[in-house]
A = this chain, B = another copy of it.
């Protein structure tokens, strides 16, 4: 049974702690948290440490902290030749301290505090420096998720950028739509089934196959009417750029 310890107490750390705590095929040894009470609702008090010197032996240490803190935290791990993974989508594996065996354990999901997620459907992107370590990572990942992928640092950065497009940017388009609804006293509610169906459609069709709308069918009259309707210059600029982009796509 693979022994896992988690270092960190933020969003990702908390979701990993809950997932590993519930998993049968791994053992959650310890959680390192500077402030013990930030994770005391998740694990037994005696599993929580706030001093690196108290870290015990484990097969895998997962550093789930902000990107800027990864290097520093990995320096403080009081071991050598242990398997140590970070969880960042945008940071190279190389940033980890040389004393230990480097790895990445990147769950691709948007985590909110106080919102439970079903970890089993979350893709986990794994990277290691050698094949034996990959096996350990994969066993740990499979204990909490059905979807694991071997992804190198370059690919992971591409996934991270892609995730900004499908998550942060799509959400911002929802925010713009919400603003337009508010301006015209329409409940945002009315758009929710369309938002769900738009996401659902690309589960079975490719995004290119799923593309519809005035830009796609080059309906200049509707595009002009929409631009005339928008009162915000920023909304107009986004409408124009994305319409052009759809028309020049493929």
The residues of B that contact A194 with a CB separation of less than 8 Å are 108-110, 163, 166-167
The residues of B that contact A109 with a CB separation of less than 8 Å are 193-194, 197
The residues of B that contact A151 with a CB separation of less than 8 Å are 186
* Chain B binder among A26-34, A49-57, A76-84, A236-244: A236-244
Interface residues of A (CB under 8 A from B): 67, 90, 108-110, 112, 115, 117, 121-123, 125, 147, 149, 151, 154-155, 157-178, 180-181, 183-203, 205-208, 210-216, 221-222, 225-226, 229-230, 234, 237-239, 241-242, 245-246, 248-249
Cβ–Cβ contact B190 & A161, under 8 A:
no
Cβ–Cβ contact A238 & B241, under 8 A:
yes
The residues of B that contact A234 with a CB separation of less than 8 Å are 245, 248
Cα of A239 to Cα of B171 in the assembled complex, Å? 14
Cα of A48 to Cα of B117 in the assembled complex, Å? 49
A211 and B180 in contact, given A194-B163, A226-B160 (Cβ under 8 angstroms): no
Give chain B nearest CB distance to A43 CB in angstroms. Answer: 25
A177 and B165 in contact, given A67-B222, A191-B159, A212-B110 (Cβ under 8 angstroms): yes
A162 and B175 in contact, given A125-B190, A241-B238, A242-B169 (Cβ under 8 angstroms): no
